[in-house]
């Protein structure tokens, strides 16, 4: 990310990341603050709790022994983990989501690498040194990165804001794009206090 920002001569720029992308943005804001003017961190965390660590280890074990879940099963599991009950209980929406998930079920070395990053050490202490203006957006029904873990990131970064968006799971930015975009635009267009 740093190389791309430098290559395109964009510094300092605004970053918006979700999940692993939010982690990258946090780390860049810490390591190279001159490259970042503002950062929106969605569905993020600064540490791995016990349940998410166990899930990551279990997924790594499956990948390492070469087990690939049938696509149909992987699709349903992904929906259950990533979407809110509001979306899961909407038959029309779920028909669309199932189609999308079935088209994007590719597993490969990138998935394994992402699982490794999912077991990150506690970075909250380090995030106290971030001086870039940040906004954390959490999704109320997120099972992958629950809101309390996002709240910890917001509490660790000096002056960071925090917003909780109801009725959304890990893919909240896709489940309620109007609400998420509104929150992002408000943060990016409001001057620091």
Considering the candidates 118, 141, 170, 176, report the single residue annotated as catalytic.
170
Q: What is the dihedral of CA 21, 24, 28, 31, to 10 degrees?
A: 170
Considering the candidates 82, 118, 141, 142, report the single residue annotated as catalytic.
142
Burial class (CB in 10 A: 0-12, 13-18, 19+), 122: middle
Residues with Cβ within 8 Å of 83's Cβ and at least 6 positions away in sequence, in order, are: 97, 141, 169, 170, 171, 175
Local structure of 184: helix, strand or coil: helix
Q: Active-site residue 170, yes or no?
A: yes
What is the rounded end-to-end Cα distance, in angstroms, of the chain? 28
Q: Active-site residue 148, yes or no?
A: no
Please name which of 143, 106, 124 lies closest in space to residue 23, comparing C-alpha atoms: 124
Q: Active-site residue 19, yes or no?
A: yes
Considering the candidates 19, 82, 84, 118, report the single residue annotated as catalytic.
19
Q: How would DSSP label each residue in 18-39?
A: ETHHHHHHHHHHHH-GGGEEEE
Active site residues: 19, 142, 170
């Amino acid at each position: 990310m740093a190389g791309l920002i430098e290559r395109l001569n964009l510094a300092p720029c605004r970053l918006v990341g979700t999940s692993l992308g939010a982690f990258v943005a946090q780390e860049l804001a810490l390591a190279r603050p001159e490259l970042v003017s503002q950062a929106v961190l969605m569905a993020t965390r600064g540490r791995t709790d016990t349940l998410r660590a166990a899930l990551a280890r279990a997924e790594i074990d499956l990948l390492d022994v070469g087990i690939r879940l049938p696509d149909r099963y992987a699709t349903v599991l992904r929906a259950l983990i990533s979407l809110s009950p509001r979306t899961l209980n909407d038959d029309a929406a779920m028909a669309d989501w199932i189609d999308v998930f079935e088209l994007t079920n590719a597993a490969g070395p990138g998935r394994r690498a992402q699982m490794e990053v999912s077991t990150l050490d506690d970075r909250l202490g380090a995030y106290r040194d971030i001086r870039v203006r940040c906004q954390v957006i959490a999704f109320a029904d997120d099972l992958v990165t629950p809101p309390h873990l996002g709240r910890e990131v917001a509490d660790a970064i000096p002056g960071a804001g925090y917003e909780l968006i109801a009725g959304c799971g890990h893919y909240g930015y896709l489940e309620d794009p109007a609400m998420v975009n509104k929150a992002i635009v408000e943060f990016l267009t409001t001057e620091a206090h």
